[in-house]
A and B are shown apart, each in its own frame.
Chain A
Amino acid sequence: MVDVLAFGEHAGGKIAPITADLIAAARGVGGRVAVVLMGGDLTGLEAQTAPLGVDKVYTVQHPLLAGESVDMLVSALEQVCRRVQPRVLLLGKTAIGRDVGPCVAFRLGVGAAQDSVAVEAGGQTGRIVATRPVYGGTAMAKVTFGSSNPQVVIMRPGAVERGSVPGAGEGVAEEAEAIEVELDESIRKVRHVETVRKESERMRLDGASVVVSGGRGLRGPEPFAMLEELAGLLGGAVGASRAACDAGWVDHSYQIGLTGATIRPDLYVTVGISGASQHMAGCSGAKRIVAINKDADANIFKEASFGVVGDWSKVLPSFMEAVRDLVRS
């Protein structure tokens, strides 16, 4: 019997960080926790789950699962759910999980709680309660499930403190089981043609310990050169609000927020960003937020630890000069 089944993601022969998030969340729910790994070739992956603390690892290896086709993954996961009958199915809100989770739920006729930041076993009913930001983060909802299983929860990456859940991260003695699934080419409805990576030298946003972001208040692309320099001084990465991306000042891969990147830096410096809830949804995990904004009433000052109310074109140059001196000394 398995109570909670986590859909483990992996890339390049390594377990992806989201998988550890999911296992930590699963441990918080309680009961027997299993992870399912799917792919064309899972060699060496199973062993990497041991330190994460699961009771069981299911492996589903099939040539048609190479290449991350959502259609194939949905069919395979549906078959696994019918076999294993978990009470709870956890996925990550990643490019894959946010589609696979709801599709499996629809196929099984059950509900899915998308983009959840907390999950717990509910009171008397024993049903799962998921907490999700809604209205772009302006409101929070606690939702629960009807009577059918699995209860599908799609977790926002980084939402669960991995260390904070008892049992997570401890190597629990685990069993392994390979599950055979039936797949054929006719299942693939969406065909992959090519992947286009925008070559960039710039530091990745996820994982950066310092992020410097600009918004509509910068009024154009030029000031981003200053932000690049500042990020360079601080060993950090540059991000942006959606308004700055939509305006074409920087590429959309800079976007931080609900529909952009999620960051958890130690220091997040925002310049000319108002702090809309949809933006804050991507940076609420930042330890300290610094705001430079000329509007004292801007929402960003409700979330920032340090701020300057002023015009960035005056504040930023002297800030950078002082930073330059400080990092040199």
Chain B
Amino acid sequence: MAVRRDAVANIIVCVKQVPDPEAPPSAFRIDDGGKRIADSPGVSSVLNGFDENAVEAALRIKDAAGGRITVLSLGSAFAADVVKKPLSMGADDLVLLQDETFDDLDSYGTALVLSEALKRIGEFDLVLCGRQASDWDNAQAPLGIAELLGIPCITVAQKVEINGGVVVAERVLSGGYEVVEADMPALVTVSNELGEPRYPTLRGIMTAGRKQPTVWSADDLGIDRARLERRIRIMDLFLPVRDRQCEVIQGEDDADSGRLLALRLREEKLI
């Protein structure tokens, strides 16, 4: 791997377009094959939330020490406004890995294609990912990318800084955090504890609109499709019905309801 050691860092952020995870559950539909979530009007496409945190982490590094941020996204179809959002936040370049065969990849295939693209980009110091994609909640692709490239992997970071050729990160633990470091090139996955991603500026949106993404297909990357065969196969996908009968306690007014609730819970020996 060719790694440049300039003053400023080359940062690659991997972002995924996903169905809005905060759409109401009732808006989700399973398609006829029973294996994927169907497009539906109530569920728009958004950038994976943790990937926005990763973009923010990259921008903070760039603000502090300079750097060039390339956004990398893999899929079979993209909404321009979704995948261009990181550019409007301040990222520099966008590379789209787009191919019909990328429509049905598991974590292994995803990591393989992304790692091939990273090899092709060649010059990078730091790869930032989200801690997990909110569609399949796998939290696996980044580990796979790092394995396939043989680079260090730090997961679930709330702070990422670079210091010379070393990345230093705070890794979230239950009830605290752990400071870890690794030589670059390295990969770090970012969590929401990092803090709110910045809003795109008007100027950012206009610049992003003019930027043309670089698009690579499976052939451009020289990927042998046989290697993309699923290791994890989906047998069934379904929407569980949750409807516990809730006993609604209704008093004369809100205060009375609160009092009655306590009495009811005592009756049930819950308090």
Q: Identify the A interface with B (CB < 8 A).
A: 70-71, 95, 98-99, 102-103, 105-107, 109-115, 129, 132-136, 138-146, 148, 189-198, 200, 204, 210, 234, 242, 246, 252-253, 258-259, 261, 266-267, 276-278, 280, 288-292, 296, 299, 301-311, 314-323, 326-327
Q: List 28 A-B contacts (CB under 8 A).
A: A95-B174, A98-B155, A102-B143, A111-B106, A111-B232, A112-B107, A136-B21, A139-B237, A139-B238, A140-B240, A148-B231, A189-B186, A195-B173, A195-B177, A242-B192, A252-B193, A267-B271, A277-B25, A291-B246, A301-B246, A303-B242, A303-B246, A308-B250, A310-B258, A315-B257, A317-B258, A318-B258, A326-B262
Q: Are B263 and A322 in contact (CB under 8 A)?
A: yes
Most chain A beta carbons < 10 A, residue from B155, B168, B258: B258
Instruction: Tell me which of A141, A306, A311 contacts B234 (CB under 8 A).
Output: A141
CA distance A322 to B256 in the complex (A): 10
Residues of A contacting B243 in the complex (Cβ-Cβ under 8 angstroms): 302
Residues of A contacting B28 in the complex (Cβ-Cβ under 8 angstroms): 135, 138-139
Q: Are B176 and A102 in contact (CB under 8 A)?
A: no
Residues of A contacting B191 in the complex (Cβ-Cβ under 8 angstroms): 259
Instruction: Tell me which of B24, B181, B244, B254 contacts A304 (CB under 8 A).
Output: B244
B226: Cβ under 8 A from any A Cβ: no
Residues of A contacting B137 in the complex (Cβ-Cβ under 8 angstroms): 114-115, 132-136, 258
Nearest chain A CB to B140 CB, angstrom units: 4
B220: Cβ under 8 A from any A Cβ: no
Instruction: Tell me which of A98, A252, A321 contacts B172 (CB under 8 A).
Output: A252
Residues of A contacting B262 in the complex (Cβ-Cβ under 8 angstroms): 319, 322-323, 326
Q: Are B176 and A305 in contact (CB under 8 A)?
A: no
> With A106-B111, A252-B193, A315-B254 as given contacts, are A193 and B168 in contact (CB-CB < 8 Å)?
yes
Instruction: Tell me which of A111, A140, A252 contacts B108 (CB under 8 A).
Output: A111
Q: Are A310 and B238 in contact (CB under 8 A)?
A: no
Residues of B contacting A318 in the complex (Cβ-Cβ under 8 angstroms): 254-256, 258-259
Q: Is the interface of A mostly helix, strand, loop or mixed?
A: mixed
Nearest chain B CB to A286 CB, angstrom units: 11
Instruction: Tell me which of B174, B192, B246, B271 contacts A307 (CB under 8 A).
Output: B246
Nearest chain A CB to B114 CB, angstrom units: 13
Q: Are B235 and A114 in contact (CB under 8 A)?
A: no
> With A106-B147, A302-B243 as given contacts, are A322 and B259 in contact (CB-CB < 8 Å)?
yes
Q: Are A259 and B155 in contact (CB under 8 A)?
A: no
Nearest chain A CB to B164 CB, angstrom units: 14
> With A114-B137, A134-B135, A299-B24 as given contacts, are A315 and B255 in contact (CB-CB < 8 Å)?
yes
Q: Are A308 and B259 in contact (CB under 8 A)?
A: no
Residues of A contacting B264 in the complex (Cβ-Cβ under 8 angstroms): 306
Q: Are B136 and A134 in contact (CB under 8 A)?
A: yes
Nearest chain A CB to B64 CB, angstrom units: 19
Instruction: Tell me which of A134, A143, A210, A314 contacts B258 (CB under 8 A).
Output: A314
> With A111-B232, A326-B266 as given contacts, are A190 and B37 in contact (CB-CB < 8 Å)?
no
Residues of A contacting B244 in the complex (Cβ-Cβ under 8 angstroms): 289, 302-305
CA distance A267 to B268 in the complex (A): 11
Q: Are A144 and B139 in contact (CB under 8 A)?
A: no
Instruction: Tell me which of B151, B181, B233 contacts A191 (CB under 8 A).
Output: B181
Residues 186-212 of B contacting A (Cβ, < 8 Å): 186, 191-193, 196
Nearest chain A CB to B213 CB, angstrom units: 27
Q: Are A102 and B249 in contact (CB under 8 A)?
A: no
Q: Are B235 and A315 in contact (CB under 8 A)?
A: no
B contact residues, range: 35 or more
CA distance A318 to B253 in the complex (A): 11
CA distance A103 to B231 in the complex (A): 14
Residues of A contacting B108 in the complex (Cβ-Cβ under 8 angstroms): 106, 109, 111
> With A102-B107, A102-B143 as given contacts, are A306 and B247 in contact (CB-CB < 8 Å)?
yes
B265: Cβ under 8 A from any A Cβ: yes
Closest B residue by C-beta to A134: B136
> With A196-B177, A259-B191, A315-B254 as given contacts, are A145 and B231 in contact (CB-CB < 8 Å)?
yes
B76: Cβ under 8 A from any A Cβ: no
Q: Are B181 and A129 in contact (CB under 8 A)?
A: no
With A114-B140, A323-B271 known, 19 other A-B pairs at CB within 8 A are A70-B153, A107-B147, A139-B28, A139-B238, A142-B236, A143-B233, A191-B182, A194-B178, A195-B176, A200-B175, A253-B174, A259-B131, A310-B258, A311-B254, A315-B257, A319-B262, A322-B262, A326-B262, A326-B263
Q: Are A321 and B176 in contact (CB under 8 A)?
A: no
Instruction: Tell me which of B30, B144, B182, B250 contacts A139 (CB under 8 A).
Output: B30
Q: Are A276 and B182 in contact (CB under 8 A)?
A: no
B230: Cβ under 8 A from any A Cβ: yes
CA distance A99 to B255 in the complex (A): 48
CA distance A321 to B151 in the complex (A): 57
CA distance A317 to B235 in the complex (A): 49
> With A291-B246, A317-B258 as given contacts, are A141 and B140 in contact (CB-CB < 8 Å)?
no
The 10 closest A-B pairs by CB, nearest first: A111-B231, A322-B262, A319-B258, A314-B254, A189-B152, A310-B254, A318-B258, A315-B258, A111-B232, A193-B179
CA distance A322 to B107 in the complex (A): 52
> With A306-B264, A323-B262, A326-B271 as given contacts, are A95 and B140 in contact (CB-CB < 8 Å)?
no
Instruction: Tell me which of A135, A196, A299, A322 contacts B179 (CB under 8 A).
Output: A196
Instruction: Tell me which of B168, B180, B231, B249 contacts A306 (CB under 8 A).
Output: B249
Residues of A contacting B153 in the complex (Cβ-Cβ under 8 angstroms): 70, 99, 103, 189-190
